[in-house]
Each structure stands twice: as structure tokens, then as C-alpha cells.
Structure 1
Amino acid sequence: MRENKRKLGLVPKLIIAIVLGILIGQFLPEGFCRLVVTLSGLFSTFLKFVIPLMILAYVTMGIADLSQGAGKLLLITVAIAYGSTLIAGTASFLVADNLFPSFMSAGALEQIAATADASLSSYFSISLEPVLDTLSAVALAFVLGLCLSTMRGKELGNSLYNGIGDFSKIIDKVLHTVIIPLLPLYICGTFVDMTKSGKTFAILSILWKVFLVVIIMHLICIAIQFCIAGAVSKKNPLTLIKNQIPGYTTALGTQSSAATIPVNLQCAETDGVCEQIRNFVVPLCANIHMAGSMITITACATAVCLMNQLPISLSTVIPFIMTLGIAMVASPGAPGGSIMTALPFLYMIFGAEAGDPNGPICAIMVALYITQDSFGTACNVSGDNAIGVIVDTIYHKFIVKEA
């Protein structure tokens, strides 16, 4: 008799990891919590080492496999990602500026800031520097991919292409045998730390209305992006959103767009995005598409200004959003990377004195953002796949057809 073995899906595993992390952080002693955080930290270190290699392998092969219109698709993808980020940030300010004044309280941010430095420390860590940083990996992938796409078979043979193809298969093996199976451990450790340090419940008990407005903006942003993707591709947007659940859940736990790339690639495959496009768009947009993070940063900056009676207007927010949309390109490799990238530019909103990166106003801004970072990241990665569906449609309907 043959036994039917049902494997537990990724989403249930991630949900279990989140619940376990909260329970462990809430009820088990600090020593055990530090052990879990240590294991999660070791995995995080290895993940940061692999991420630039993943970007190099996938983006290079994705562009190289585009026999027609590689340069056009690159420009289209970057333009859509940047435009989405700008629109999301602007809309976030308009909503926050109108709603937040009605339910802000003077002591709320101070209580949240108290949890900023309360993270658990690991028993030990290892130093494993990535071969490339994420921005260098993206730039190198552009150069290699575009050159291979235009020169292979004309000015170049297949040796380099085959070598990068084999390298991509190695990265595939690492992802499917190490990264994806251990993601629940990483997520569990993140929630153990957040719960033990008080971060998990701080925002819900103090600024839950601000938190709720930001989450609703994220969900509306995702819905609009997939509705546009569905209209362009003639696919059901509800199906596209359903397919995105594993990627969304993974991003909630990892708080990293780059760390979610392996799962997001699977979501893109489920959406019917061809291999060349998904291998090109998903890793690229993980580094340049920051709609969710921009919504959170803009809303938090507006809240901080209102709490501290600092002037803020659309004329000061727009230049900040345009600058940050470019500056955040190097930020997705780690939780909280976006807000750390934004720190040197907060003076554009807060002013020179209040915008001191080492000052108390910016410290409050970081604390407020970090409590909502995972939801912004989840919005980012969901939008990445919406862009993937759009670019895939443009590629097959126009560029391939023209060729």
C-alpha cells in the first residue's frame, strides 16, 4: 500500500514560525531565546553572503536570455519601479497629512523609542563579508547581461554564457536546499527578538491607528498594482494576489526584499511569467522598487513632524521622495535597510537641526519605522511581481512580436 505524504506548504511553515517566535519570546527564558536568535543570525549572515551572488546570477541570465529588446526592457522596468515608488510616497503623505492629526498623542513615540535598543544579543557571530555589495552586483549584472544579450553569437562565443548558466544552477541548488528550507528558522528568530524586546506589541498598544492606516495604504497599493497588472495582461488580479501570498508572508518575517527573492521567483512562475523575465525583473526590482518602504517612511516622517510641531508640506516631501527613490537602491539586503539609507536625507523634511542623523528626532523616526518595516517590505515584493507581469506582457506582445 502506497502512503500519500502531504508536504506542509511554505506559507503554513512561515505562519507556524511567526507564532512559535512570539510564544518563545513571550514565555521561554532569555537564554533559550538568545540561542534561537544566534541560529537565526548565523543564517542571516549566510543569506547576506548569497544575496549578491543570487542577483548576479539571476539578473545576468535574465537579461542575457532576452534575445530581443534587453535594453528597452531594462529601461521600462526601471521607469515603472521608480514611478511606482514616487506615486506611493506622494499618496502616503497626502493620506497621513489629513488623517494623522486627529489621533496623535504626545507620549506615544517616546514609548516606542524605548524599545529601539532592546534587541537580544547573539551568543556569537561569524564575519562573512559578501563578495560584492548589492549595488555592485546589480551594476555588474547589467553590464554582463546586456553585453551577452547583444554580443553572444556575434562577437562572443558561448563560454561565458555557459559559465554563468552553470553558476546560476549552483545558486538554484543553494536556494532550494538551504535558503528556502531554513527561512522559517530565520523568521522565528526575528519574532523571538521582537517579542522579547517588546517591539512586537509596542506599536499595536500605542500607535495602532497610525499602524493600521499604514497597513491599509500598503494593501491598497498592492491591490492597485495587481489590478493594473491584471488589466495589462488580461489576467485575474485576485488570482495574482492569491499567488503572491507566499512571497508576502516571507517578506513579513524576513523584513528583507532581497531575502524574499527565492520565494518571489516561485510566485512569479505561478503567475505565468516566463523564466527569462522573472529571473531578470524579480531580483532587479527587489533592489530598485521601494513603494512599500516609501509609504512607511513618508507616513512616519509625517507623524514625527506632527508630534514635534515641525512644518511639513508637499513641496518639501516631493524632493525627499525623489532623492530617496534613488538612494534606497542599495538598501534591501537587511531589515531596516531603507530607513538607515534614509537617515542622511531626513534633514530635507525635518530641517538641518532636527534632521541630525544622531539626534533624538531621527532616533524616534527609526524606532517608529522599524516596527512597521516588515509590512513595507511585503508591499515592496508584491509590487515586484506586479511589475513582472506587466513587463512579461510587454515583452511577448510588443518586443518579441516586432522581432
Structure 2
Amino acid sequence: MEKKTFKLGLLPKLIIAIILGILIGQFLPIWFCRIIVTASSIFSTFLKFIIPLMILAYVTMGIADLKSGAGKLLLITVALAYGSTLIFGSASYLVSSTLFPSFMSQGALEQIAATAGNSLDSYLSLSIPPLLDTLSAVVLAFVLGLCLSNLRGRTIGNTLYDGIKDFSGIIDQVLHSVIIPLLPLYICGTFIDMTKSGKTFAILGILWKVFLVVIAMHLICICIQFLLAGFISKKNPLTLIKNQIPGYATALGTQSSAATIPVNLQCAAADGVSEQIRNFVVPLCANIHMAGSMITITACATAVCLMNQLPISLGTVIPFIMTLGIAMVASPGAPGGSIMTALPFLYMIFGAEAGDPNGPICAIMVALYITQDSFGTACNVSGDNAIGVIVEAIYRKFIVKKDAVTA
């Protein structure tokens, strides 16, 4: 009998990295701190190189794979998933912009502002220019994905689809083998720099309140989705929520919507969703429904803007949410995939300089998001099954009856 090996999850690793970063920055000499900051800086440069390739691989495959499924069901499911992401992302900004300022005293904001420019210099810097800029990667991904979705299996496209699929597998391997394992180093270096510059303790005094508000928004989101699903399907929302508990708990542990699909399919079966519908909706929504992640990203971006006295408004947030709702397609395959996909678009909120994916403000965003990633993923997958219940009800009430009448 093989012994089970204990494996520390990503969330505990990142919490340890934050604690170590604070302790190292507080008690160890500057020369040692600069070594870790240098390693973190080199990693962030590599990350900046990989991000456009990640967008190209994931978004292309996500759109190309939308071909699988009946046209009516596909349109209904995509509309519900995208609409949910937009609505709850926008609501997250409204709640965050209302509540967060009360957490952030003027003294704390002034203390953070006073530390600007105190960052540690790295011993070594590398220049690795990305093969594509992020906008080019997004446009190319949309063109390839839409064309492959229409042409594959009809005239051309099978060979290119297989090539993109292999390329996506390579990027996925890089994400799992390099990016995710080294994220703790990246976060540790960020918090070392923040501690030495004096930002850490002023910021941490604010973050725990942000965390509680975000978790509350996730839970409210789940309740609203299942209330709507219960109303449309004439099912008990409390029973639907109860049936979702195994999927929610699995997502908390795996931090991956894709890894939770098998359990979520069982939850959908318990909800009475037919095999035909659940086998279509659950895997599809695992890749396109990002309400929980959008709540977290929007709330964290609002908090970071307030902490750094950057302007933010609903007018800048909505285009960001609309863009990210599409760009995050297929990003939930790995822990932290959503925030990695979001990094190149943060300039839409933070501005060109502060929104540099390689910069310290985006590093704070990564740290903020990752500490809440499992809850956002759990919210995502719970909403997937709420959408499944709604699609099942619409299918039975309108599509099946209409087809029966036509026949």
C-alpha cells in the first residue's frame, strides 16, 4: 500500500510567502533582501513574456471549443454566463467603492503615499521582449478561435486546431511547472520590497476587511443565482444550494473550475438536470462563467486604486469587465489563471504606468487575488450549476415544446 504524500496547496504556500516576505523585509539586511527581489524581478520579466502566449493559447482554444453543442443551447448558455459575469462584476465595484473608503483612513493612505519611491533595486535586470503585445494576442486569438469554430470539420482547420491544442498544452505545462510554483517567490519578493519601503503594515491593516467583504459578495452572488434558478425552474432554491455543497467544497480545495467538473456534474444530477444538458453546460461554463473571479478581481482593483490614490470610476470598470469577461475564457484550468489573464488588462483601470504587469501595483493585485482565489472559483462553479438548472428549464419549456409542435 502506497503512502499518501502530503502536498501543500497553493494558497498555504502564498500565505507562507507573504509571512516570510514580511519577516525577511523586517529583520534581514538589505543585501539579502535585494537577492530575493532580484529573483522576483527576473520571474516577473519572464511572466511578462509568457502572458501574451497564454492569452493566445487559452482564448483561441476556448472560443474554438465553443463549437461543441447545439446552437440554441450554446447561445443561451453563453449569454447567461457572460451576463452573470458582467452583472456581478459591476455590482462588485459598486459595493467596493461604497464600503472600502470607510476602511481606508486618510492617515493610512498618506502613509502609503509617503513610501512611494522607496523600492529596493535588484542586482540584475533582464530584457525579454514579448513576441506579441497583449492587444495583438487578444485580436489574433479571437480571429483564430472564431475561424476554427466555424471551419473545423467542414472545410479546413483541423490541422491548425490540433496545433493550437498542442500549443495550449505547452503553455499549460509552463503554467503548472514554472509560473504557479514560482508565484510564492514572486509574492515573497513583493512583500519584502513593501516591508522595506514601509508599505506592508499600512496595507495589511486594510486587507482583512477587504477579504471579508469579497467573501460576503461571493456568498450573496451564489444565493441570488440559485434563487433565480429556483424561480425559473420551480425548484426549491435551498435544496439547490444544499446539492451544491460538494462542488463548492471541492473547488475550495482544488482552486480549479476544470478540476471540479466531475463533482459538479454529480451536483447537477442531484438538481435534476438531464444528462444531455449537464454534460453540455457544466464543462462549458467551467471555462466561460467567471462571476466569482470577476467579483474578486474588481474588488481587489478597487482596493488597490484607493490604496494608491488612483482614479477609478464605473466608466473605466465596465469596459474592463466586458473585455476580461471574454479574455478569461478557458483560464480557470489552473489556480491563479484568471488573475494571470487579467494582468495585461489592468492598465484599463490603473493607467499605463501603474498598470504595468511587471510593476509592484500589479504584484499587489496578484497577492490580493490569490489569497481569495479558491472562494472565487467556488463561486464560479456554483453559478455553473445555477445556469445549468436555468438552461434545463428553458430547454424543456421552449425548445422541446416548440420542436414537438413543429414535428
**TM-score bracket for this pair, using the shorter chain length:** 0.5 to 0.7
Which segments of 5 or more consecutive residues in structure 1 lack a partner in the other structure? 1-15, 27-50, 64-69, 111-133, 148-189
2:244 matches 1:221: no
Offset, 1:282: 0.4
Query: Deviation at 1:365?
Result: 0.9
Contact 2:66 / 2:74 at 8 angstroms: preserved in 1? no
Match of 2:93 in 1: 93
Question: Which residue is 1:325 aligned to?
Answer: 325
The 3-state SS of whatever aligns with 2:260 is helix
Cross-structure match for 2:379: 379
C-alpha spacing 1:108/1:209, structure 2 compared with 1 (3 Å): farther
CA distance in structure 1 between the partners assigned to 2:231 and 2:304 by the alignment: 38
3-state SS of 2:311 partner: coil
Residue by residue over 1:292-351, the C-alpha shift from the partner in whole angstroms, topping out at 9 and shown as x without a partner, is 000000000000000000000011101101000000003111111111101111000001
Per the alignment, residue 176 of structure 2 pairs with none
What letter corresponds to residue 272 of structure 1 in structure 2?
A: G
State whether structure 2 residue 266 is matched by structure 1 residue 266.
yes
Residue aligning to 1:290: 290
Query: Do the aligned residues in 2 keep the contact of 1:251 with 1:381 (CA within 8 Å)?
Result: yes
Shift of 1:288: 0.6
- Look up the SS of the partner of 1:352 in the other structure: coil
Shift of 1:108: 9.0
Amino acid at match of 2:362: C
Identity of matched residues, % = 77
For residues 220-262 of structure 1, the C-alpha deviation after alignment (integer angstroms, 9 at most, x for no partner) is 1000000000000000000000000011111111111111111
Deviation at 1:206, TM superposition (A): 6.0
Q: Which residue identity lines up with residue 223 of structure 2 in the other structure?
A: A
Residue matched to 2:366: 366
CA gap 1:374/1:135 in 2 versus in 1, 3 angstroms: farther
Q: Is 2:246 the partner of 1:238?
A: no
Q: Is 2:311 the counterpart of 1:279?
A: no
Instruction: Say yes or no: does 1:337 pair with 2:337.
Output: yes
Q: How does 1:3-402 map to 2 (within 5 A)?
A: 63=69, 70-104=70-104, 105-106=108-109, 207-402=207-402
Number of equivalent positions: 285
Name the SS for the 2:387 alignment partner: helix
Displacement of 1:142? 6.4
State the alpha-carbon separation in 2 of the partners of residues 308 and 205 from structure 1. Answer: 15
What is the alpha-carbon distance in structure 2 between the residues aligned to residue 144 and residue 274 of structure 1?
30
Q: Assess if the C-alpha contact under 8 Å between 1:82 and 1:325 holds in 2.
A: yes
Instruction: Determine the C-alpha separation between the residues in 2 that align with 1:252 and 1:146.
Output: 38
**Counterpart Cα distance in 1 of 2:251 and 2:227:** 21
Give the superposed CA RMSD.
4.0
Cα contact 1:331–1:338 (8 A) shared by 2: yes
User: How far, CA to CA, are the matches of 1:17 and 1:346 in structure 2?
Assistant: 32
State the distance in 2 between where 1:246 and 1:145 align: 37
Partner of residue 183, structure 1: none
1:154-201 Cα distance to aligned partner (Å, 9 max, x none): xxxxxxxxxxxxxxxxxxxxxxxxxxxxxxxxxxxx9xx99xx8x9xx
What CA distance in whole angstroms lies between the structure 1 residues aligned with 2:319 and 2:336?
Answer: 22
- SS of 2:332's equivalent in the other structure is coil
1:1-57 Cα shifts (integer Å, max 9, x gaps): xxxxxxxxxxxxxxx9999x97xx99xxxxxxxxxxxxxxxxxxxxxxxx9xxx99x
| Equivalent AA in structure 2 for residue 384 of structure 1 | D
Shift of residue 207, structure 1, vs aligned partner: 2.0
Tell me the equivalent position of 2:163: none
The one-letter amino acid paired with 1:355 is: G
Give a deviation string over 1:83-118, Cα, whole Å, max 9, x none. Answer: 1000011000000001001113457999xxxxxxxx
Paired residues of 2:112 and 2:308 also in contact (CA < 8 A): no
2:157 alignment partner in structure 1: none
Aligned equivalents of 2:235 and 2:381: distance in 1? 19
What CA distance in whole angstroms lies between the structure 1 residues aligned with 2:374 and 2:316?
26
CA distance in 1, matches of 2:147, 2:72: 18
Partners of 1:282 and 1:384 within 8 A in 2: yes
CA distance in 1, matches of 2:343, 2:210: 21
CA contact (8 A) 1:108 1:207 kept: no
Question: Quick one: distance in 1 between partners of 2:204 and 2:371?
Answer: 9
CA contact (8 A) 1:108 1:206 kept: no
Give the counterpart letter for 1:385 in structure 2.
N
Q: TM-score, normalised by structure 2?
A: 0.61
Give the 3 Å change call, closer, same or farther, for CA 92–146 of structure 1 in structure 2: farther
Deviation, 1:204, is 9.0
Distance 1:89 1:329 in 2: 15
One-letter amino acid of the counterpart of residue 274, structure 1 = S
Question: Which structure 2 segments of 5+ residues have no match?
Answer: 1-5, 17-57, 116-140, 155-180, 192-200
Q: 1:386 to 1:140 in 2, by over 3 A?
A: farther
Give SS of 1:329's match. coil
Indicate the residue corresponding to 1:161 in structure 2. none
Would the alpha carbon gap of residues 399 and 274 (structure 1) be closer, same or farther in structure 2, given more than 3 Å must change? Answer: same
Q: In 1, are the aligned partners of 2:355 and 2:362 still within 8 Å (CA)?
A: yes
Q: Which amino acid aligns with 1:321?
A: I
